Structure 1
Amino acid sequence: MKNYSFQPQGVCTRQITFGIDDEGKLRNVRFAGGCPGNLLAIGKLVEGADPKNVASILKGNDCGGRGTSCADQLSIALTTAIEKANVA
């Protein structure tokens, strides 16, 4: 499994970590900071999902008019990880 760490911008969460296993499934999504109950729920809901699909669903979600959200930042993190994996 390949593990990733992402520092989000414009949200309460300070760090997002996750893994993508050898079958291309999302694993162990964790948020440091932010709204604990909601972010724990997001991690549980996306466990074992396709990262591209999760990124597509969460992209553009807004929190309080910030123009982004923790979910949107996860989308950015996943997209970045997918792009890096395809380059390697």
Structure 2
Amino acid sequence: MAYRYKTKGTCSVYIDVDMDGNVLKNAVFHGGCNGNLQGISALVEGQTYEEIKAKLSGIKCGFKSTSCPDQLIKAMEEAMRNE
């Protein structure tokens, strides 16, 4: 299931996630630090929501209360709710 999530509090503007149940098939960040975000996507694709959440949830970017990796978790949660 493809889903577009509008990020909150990060440099990236939105994240396109493609999920198969609770497994992340693909994640594309739009805006933000392109190389780092491509790397994050490559590292977590094929993993379950639970595996990714354990690694990325709660990460902060500088003085912000969230980060692009943290927003990926929120994108996955919203995609699964809207499935």
Which stretches in structure 1 are left out of the alignment for 5+ residues?
Answer: none
Identity %: 37
Structure number with the higher strand fraction is 2
TM-score (norm 2): 0.89
Structure with more relative contact order (C-alpha pairs < 8 Å, separation 6 or more): 2
Match of 1:27 among 25, 28, 31: 25
| Cα pair 1:56 1:75 within 8 Å, conserved | no
Q: Which has the larger radius of gyration?
A: 1
CA distance in 1, matches of 2:67, 2:15: 12
Provide the TM-score with structure 1 as the length reference: 0.84
Q: Following TM superposition, where does structure 1 have runs of at least 4 consecutive aligned residues deviating by more than 4 angstroms?
A: none
Paired positions, count: 83
**Superposition CA RMSD, Å:** 1.4
Whole-angstrom CA distance in 2 between matches of 1:53 and 1:78: 12
